[in-house]
Amino acid sequence: MAGAPADGSDAAPTALTARAPQVPADRLVAEMVPPPRFQGARFDTYIPDGKQPSQAEAVQVLSAFAAGIGGTAAGGTAKRRWFARKPAAPKGPRGVYLDGGYGVGKTHLLASLWHATPAPAERKAFGTFVELTNLVGALGFQQTVRTLGEHTLLCIDEFELDDPGDTVLVSTLLGKLVDSGVALAATSNTLPGKLGEGRFAAADFLREIQGLSAHFRPLRIDGEDYRHRGLPQAPDPYDDETVTRVAYRTPGASLDDFPSLLDHLSRVHPSRYGAMCDGIQAVCLTDVQAVPDQSTALRLVVLADRLYDREIPVLTSGKPFGELFSDEMLRGGYRKKYFRAISRLTALARDAGTLVGH
């Protein structure tokens, strides 16, 4: 951690590198709700870009989809007995797939769908693909099917298409849930090798989920990254002294040097990155450098997502976020994730500017 201010007048901030929380399975289930940033997301708070008619159309289509779900899952409020007749699979599309580039508001729309669906909160689940695979790992496949099969709606943000094993696992899970009458909604990331692709590809998603494709209606959403639409550029990185001083005077701030944090992330499972940020009000990082390899970069992407979900400002010294990932990484199969991370971290850096002003 960076050194304390010379006057030593403020209490020492915490360090993310000192945190390695354990997350019980019941917490994984209970936390499958829209993250704090999107707790207030509603269709009427989504601001469509007037130059992109597909955005306004998406709001209309998803509103109708939410209204059409209604009721409870096929299991009702009571668990279905093992000898009961298997319910007939719903006719027609039982899911929607939001197809668009980063920063067009897909997560906002997905969270709005969750909120608009007329079912109790405990009958709706919202999580990233990684969180869903973590749930299967914690509960086991059959228990996950039983738990989520009682739901009315499952929303999956950032459906991963770059791990064939996990894709098959989740596709099989979704097939079981569709049979139980669960409605599905998803966004996804591009496959490795899709070079030069600036947006998600619905054809990839529908092919990878194999037999489930008939249950999904692809919904394309065009547009530019709303996080930076009409906004000033994020501030340049500060010096170590400024970052350290702000960390010491900001209640709930953390302070770490970036290389040490990257090393720590390799020892904490990504499913626990959210819990690692519990109670943190600002993240202060000194000596930000380009990430050394792809495994490290992918862990950083997960952390960036959890910080963004929780609206935690990020104050840094060292290199700007635009230099985190090498040109080779930005041309590779995970480029979509890296650009999303840059976009989100840049927005959080902009938020952190007020801390310096104070």
Q: What are the structural domains of the chain?
A: 16-23+228-357 (3.40.50), 50-223 (3.40.50.300)
pLDDT at 159: 80
Q: What is the pLDDT of residues 244-269, one digit of tens each?
A: 999 999 999 999 999 999 999 999 98
pLDDT at 3: 60
Name the 3-class secondary structure at 141: helix
- Residue carrying structure tokens 């992109």: 52
Tokens of 336: 């979509």
Side-chain half-sphere exposure of 322, counting CA atoms within 13 A: 5
- Residue carrying structure tokens 């409605």: 183
Q: Which of 131, 123, 133 is nearest to 180 (CA)?
A: 123
The sheet that has 314-318: what strands, in order across it?
253-257, 282-288, 314-318
Contact of 282 with 199, CB cutoff 8 Å:
no
pLDDT at 349: 95
Q: Which of 326, 220, 311 is nearest to 274 (CA)?
A: 311
Looking at the DSSP assignment, which residues form a beta bridge with residue 316? 285
- Cut 0.85: pTM above it: no
Residues 6+ apart with CB under 8 A from 287: 240, 257, 258, 259, 317, 318
Q: What is the pLDDT of residues 40-69, one digit of tens each?
A: 999 999 989 888 999 999 999 999 999 998
3-state helix, strand, coil in the chain (%, to 5): 45, 15, 40
Residues 6+ apart with CB under 8 A from 139: 25, 28, 29, 147
Residues 6+ apart with CB under 8 A from 141: 169, 172, 173
CA-based end-to-end distance of the chain: 23
pLDDT at 160: 72
Give 44's DSSP letter.
G
Distance CA 41, CA 237 (A): 30
pLDDT at 173: 92
Q: Which of 312, 324, 300 is nearest to 348 (CA)?
A: 312
Contact of 312 with 349, CB cutoff 8 Å:
no
| Strands 153-159 vs 124-128: parallel, antiparallel or unpaired | parallel
* Helix/strand/coil (H/E/C) assignment for every residue in 171-197: HHHHHHHHHCCCEEEEEECCCCCCCCC
Taking phi first (over 0 means left), then psi (-120 to 50 degrees means alpha), and beta for anything else, what does residue 333 get? alpha
Contact of 276 with 20, CB cutoff 8 Å:
yes
Tokens of 36: 């704090």
Looking at the DSSP assignment, which residues form a beta bridge with residue 285? 256, 316
pLDDT at 103: 73
pLDDT at 206: 62
Side-chain half-sphere exposure of 275, counting CA atoms within 13 A: 16
Spans of the chain, pLDDT less than 70: 1-10, 70-93, 161-163, 189-213, 225-234, 358
